[in-house]
Amino acid sequence: MGRLEGKVAIVTGAASTMGIGFATAHLFAREGARVLLTDIKGDVVAMRAQSLRDAGFAASATAHDVTLQYDWGRVRDHVLTEHGRIDILVNNAGIALPGGIGEATLDDWNRHLAVNLTSAFLGCQMAVRQMRAQGGGGAIVNISSSAGLSAFANLAAYCASKGGVRLLTKAAALDVAAEGIRINSVHPGHLDTDMIAGARAVAPAMVAAMEANVPMTFLGVPDDAAAMILFLASDEARYITGAEFVVDGGLTAK
């Protein structure tokens, strides 16, 4: 029996092979969950789901614009048609565009809030309503960032949006704690994703400096965050809600 045996999970932002979303979906599937992967890149996320099915796991995919309320309704209907319920939601989709307070545009600001924060609100609302309709119980994990706990220069909009995810998580968790619906946030630090892989090819000194700034002296990988998300989604975390969990090699401890 896997740790998520019989559970139905939705993971957003799951198209990247080197991202937290796909790593989480893969781990959930290995632990027995039936997983719906979503992403704005519908054709790519469909390939990710196919790779999980090829490995013998229960996985499907759909295109999904997390900033649109009606698209959340469509995703809900999709998973209910396939599996009849929703037990777990991972709000992972997000963006990070550089820009200090003097340089960031209003469009950049609004885009960060829409993709990183409004999407978490819409996802939590959809999942809570469905979990209530099922009689209560369930787990929601919102992916914030170490930048939602400690500010970084040249990331004003990103930090604000991820800080908002942190407190949205806590407030929403209090709203539904008595119903057995748990909501927590995970705050990854510098992980070796496809974005970092690209940066390493063109700016190796910058990536080396990032590694040196981490007290553990190396970058984490998406599986490090996925392991924490799995724990919070599982029944092992039955008495944990409204909390924040940092996966950053000690970065925010400084």
Tokens of 163: 């800080």
Residue 76 lies inside a defined structural domain of this protein = yes
| Domain assignment of residue 146, given as a range | 8-190+229-243
What is the rounded distance in angstroms from the CA atom of residue 19 to the CA atom of residue 22? Answer: 6
Residue 253 lies inside a defined structural domain of this protein = no
Residue 209 lies inside a defined structural domain of this protein = no
Backbone angles phi, psi at 2, to 5 degrees: -80, 170
- Per-residue pLDDT, 193: 86
- Per-residue pLDDT, 197: 79
Residue 40 lies inside a defined structural domain of this protein = yes
Residue 38 lies inside a defined structural domain of this protein = yes
Predicted model pTM: 0.96
Tokens of 239: 């008495």
- Per-residue pLDDT, 194: 81
> What CATH number is given to the structural domain containing 57?
3.40.50.720
Residue 3 lies inside a defined structural domain of this protein = no
State the alpha helices, DSSP H only, in the chain.
20-30, 42-54, 69-83, 106-112, 119-133, 156-176, 194-202, 204-213, 222-233
Residue 69 lies inside a defined structural domain of this protein = yes
Residues marked as catalytic: 158
Domain count, the chain: 1
Intra-chain end-to-end CA distance of the chain, in Å: 40
| Cβ neighbourhood burial of 78 (10 Å; 0-12, 13-18, 19+) | middle
Q: From the CA atom positions of the chain, what is the Rg in Å? A: 17
Residue 179 lies inside a defined structural domain of this protein = yes
Q: What is the pLDDT along the chain (254 residues), one digit of tens a residue?
A: 699 999 999 999 999 999 999 999 999 999 999 999 999 999 999 999 999 999 999 999 999 999 999 999 999 999 999 999 999 999 999 999 889 999 999 999 999 999 999 999 999 999 999 999 999 999 999 999 999 999 989 999 999 999 999 999 999 999 999 999 999 999 999 999 887 877 788 878 878 888 999 999 999 999 999 999 999 999 999 999 999 999 999 999 99
- Per-residue pLDDT, 252: 95
